[in-house]
Structure 1
Amino acid sequence: MGSLTVNKQKLKRFTIATKPVMEEYLAKMDVDLSDYTFAANFIWLANSSGFYAVINKCFCLFVMTGGELTMLLPPIGKKKHITDAIISCFKVMNTNNSSPYYSRIDYVQSSMLEEFVQNTDEAQSMFEMLESYLVEKKLVDYVYEAAALIELRGNSYHTKRTEINKFMKSYPDYVIEQLDSVKHKDEIMHLFNKWVSDRVKYMPKEEAEHFLEGIHQERHAVKQMLKYYEELSLIGLVIYINGELKGFTVGERINKDTATVIIEKTDFEILGCAQFIFREFSKMLKEHYEIVYINVGDDMGFENLRKVKMSYRPFKLVPKYTIYQK
């Protein structure tokens, strides 16, 4: 699919060439959410589903799913332009969609939400604005202090320290390397496929079917990450054990102080590998990139993932909202 025109508004394809355009607008914002980077959206979007336009001096990112348009992020730009851009974007979505029910804006950070509610036209009261829109709290991003993830001090991190110590004792000949998208490509895909088969092996049948439905998108994301690794300025590590690649992790800088982990996979059979590579990645981010905080994204609503992320004792939880029209 090429560009799309909705109600005289041209929406261009969201491709790797969009990177400088989106980043020009992101630079105007102060945000530490994992969703607010070009790479995070480009990696996870299917090739034909992303579209963008500059509306009311804001960068607006849309996604087409089953013929219905939604927004992956709120309009990105200066605060004074965001409210009018949100209203215009809903008009675009409503014109395209089979029902206004499908129109929504995801991953809205709280500061933008406040701006949207408060910065209304004089003729339109806040009450009227809230009468027209429904705001729903969805997920939270888990943000940690890099130093805490490296030092793992105190009783709350006892289990993590134990797992890492057991790993180092069991696999003293491990080798850590910076990720090279050409050198490590085939081994990373091999590990990813093994990770999928291992996950399915221990799942109930009904849960496995649901899991496999979403795995196509994640496989695509890993391939996109490897294909455009250099262009996206990504940061990554791999770990070898007995000559075999057993784990990889990839992230990027969100802002001056904060980095995010985009994708991490380790071999289930190597106990402690996930904890060890996470600590090593945190070290690299702090020592080489002067990162203070590490955002590992949300838990996608999965209880087991929530437990894992909470077990690392987040420094803060950053809420994300979705805006619907009533």
Structure 2
Amino acid sequence: MLTHSVSITDKVLFDAYLKSSPYGSSDLNFTNLFMWRHLYKLKYEVIEDLLWISGVYYDKPFLLPPLFKDSGALTTLPASLEVLKGHFDKVNHPFMIKFLPAEVVGLFESIAPQLFRFQRDRDNDDYIYLSKDLMELKGRKLHSKKNHLNFFRKHMEFDYVSLTKELMGDCLALTQRLKGGNYSDLELDLLQNEEFAIKEALQHMDQLQIVGSTIWVDGQLEAFTFGERLTEDTMLVHIEKANAEIRGLYQAINQQFCIHHCEDVIYVNREEDMGFDYLRKAKESYNPIKMLEKYDVFLNI
């Protein structure tokens, strides 16, 4: 819909806008945009001093919330919307902004009263945890997680190794091995795209400032995860893969990543569940301290 494709060379440009924008959500992060640019057909353009990103979500075109270098640029929001609405009209789809954090809804309403309609999007809320909780697994609500972890530590000989680009081949081999299972067509498509996204991220992990962890059992990679600093106080986890047949392995890789990479942050953002029941159950079971609520935004005209 917009003009420019997203590439690794755009990181400097995007970061200049991202550091000034108040969203703090997993969607508005350059690594995520870069990793998933093919799946969502992401494009971008600067219009009226705002950086807009367009994509396609379940066959529906959308925009991400506008990024800006100066908050005063948001006053140009109505003017840029005139241009953008024309793009939606050409493809015969209603105008839509996705993933607007709840904290910014009031700002949009104050800039353009009565212009927008907001619709809650629970499936794409970010799960936010205390890093201390994920490291220590204390308390009744996390008791079962601690039991699984203790079982793993007692019964498995394992090695922890920090993730490097040189381990990309092992990570991709594990990702392929874990694709076997009874998945819906949608889930299988996401898994195939995830494999490509993982490869893209690990190939450029130095430029993207990604950090990660791996766990090896009997000399074979069985779990890996990676993320990056989202804000000064929050670590964002992009990917977590583990052999579910090994009891306690998911709890182990989660804890090891937090111990090695999250000691200097308060929160860990583990992204959304996309409406999948198994993901929602897993993410809720870790007792998030809060949810970053998001909205879809439509025009009233």
User: How far apart are the structure 2 equivalents of 1:53 and 1:244?
Assistant: 44
Q: Which of these residues, 75, 82, 91, is aligned with residue 66 of structure 2?
A: 75
- With normalisation by structure 1, the TM-score equals 0.84
> Which residue does the alignment assign to 1:268?
244
Q: Which of these residues, 122, 127, 137, is aligned with residue 152 of structure 1?
A: 137
Within-5 A mapping of 1:38-117: 38-46=30-38, 49-63=41-55, 69-71=61-63, 73-77=64-68, 78-82=70-74, 84-85=76-77, 88-89=80-81, 91-95=83-87, 97-99=89-91, 101-117=93-109
Once the two structures are TM-superposed, the CA of residue 88 in structure 1 deviates from its matched residue by 1.6
SS of match in other structure, 1:134: strand
State the Cα deviation string for residues 96-122 of structure 1 (Å, max 9, x = none).
Answer: 5545534311111123321111123xx
Deviates more, 1:186-195 or 1:242-251: 186-195
1:17 matched to 2:9 = yes
Distance 1:14 1:310, change over 3 A: same
> Which residue does the alignment assign to 2:265?
291
Give the number of aligned pairs: 297
Instruction: Report sequence identity in percent.
Output: 26
Say what the alpha-carbon RMSD is for the aligned residues: 2.2
User: How far apart are the structure 1 equivalents of 2:139 and 2:260?
Assistant: 22
Distance 1:80 1:190, change over 3 A: same
Aligned residue type for 2:118: V
User: How far apart are the structure 1 equivalents of 2:35 and 2:131?
Assistant: 24
User: How far apart are the structure 2 equivalents of 1:176 and 1:69?
Assistant: 42
Q: Which runs of 5+ in 1 are unaligned?
A: 121-125
Distance 1:48 1:283, change over 3 A: closer
User: How far apart are the structure 1 equivalents of 2:75 and 2:174?
Assistant: 45
> Which residue does the alignment assign to 2:151?
166
1:257 matched to 2:233 = yes
1:27 matched to 2:19 = yes
Q: Is the 8 A contact 1:25 1:76 kept in 2?
A: yes
1:177 matched to 2:161 = yes
Q: Which runs of 5+ in 2 are unaligned?
A: none
Q: Is the 8 A contact 1:51 1:61 kept in 2?
A: yes
State the Cα deviation string for residues 116-172 of structure 1 (Å, max 9, x = none).
Answer: 11123xxxxx3x42xxx321110311101101111111111110110000001111x
User: How far apart are the structure 1 equivalents of 2:40 and 2:284?
Assistant: 35
- With normalisation by structure 2, the TM-score equals 0.91
Once the two structures are TM-superposed, the CA of residue 225 in structure 1 deviates from its matched residue by 1.2
Distance 1:285 1:32, change over 3 A: farther
> Which residue does the alignment assign to 2:254?
278
1:191 matched to 2:174 = yes
State the Cα deviation string for residues 200-226 of structure 1 (Å, max 9, x = none).
Answer: 2xx3xxx53332233222121111112
SS of match in other structure, 1:219: helix
Distance 1:154 1:111, change over 3 A: closer
Aligned residue type for 2:142: Y
> Which residue does the alignment assign to 1:300?
274
SS of match in other structure, 2:93: helix
User: How far apart are the structure 2 equivalents of 1:301 and 1:69?
Assistant: 19
User: How far apart are the structure 1 equivalents of 2:48 and 2:278?
Assistant: 41
User: How far apart are the structure 2 equivalents of 1:83 and 1:67?
Assistant: 30
SS of match in other structure, 2:258: helix
User: How far apart are the structure 2 equivalents of 1:86 and 1:107?
Assistant: 19
User: How far apart are the structure 2 equivalents of 1:86 and 1:235?
Assistant: 39
> Which residue does the alignment assign to 1:142?
127
Once the two structures are TM-superposed, the CA of residue 74 in structure 1 deviates from its matched residue by 0.5
Q: Is the 8 A contact 1:107 1:322 kept in 2?
A: yes
SS of match in other structure, 1:196: coil
Distance 1:65 1:36, change over 3 A: closer
> Which residue does the alignment assign to 2:209?
233
SS of match in other structure, 1:75: coil
User: How far apart are the structure 1 equivalents of 2:151 and 2:93?
Assistant: 52
Q: Is the 8 A contact 2:126 2:269 kept in 1?
A: yes
Q: Is the 8 A contact 1:69 1:93 kept in 2?
A: no
Distance 1:264 1:62, change over 3 A: same
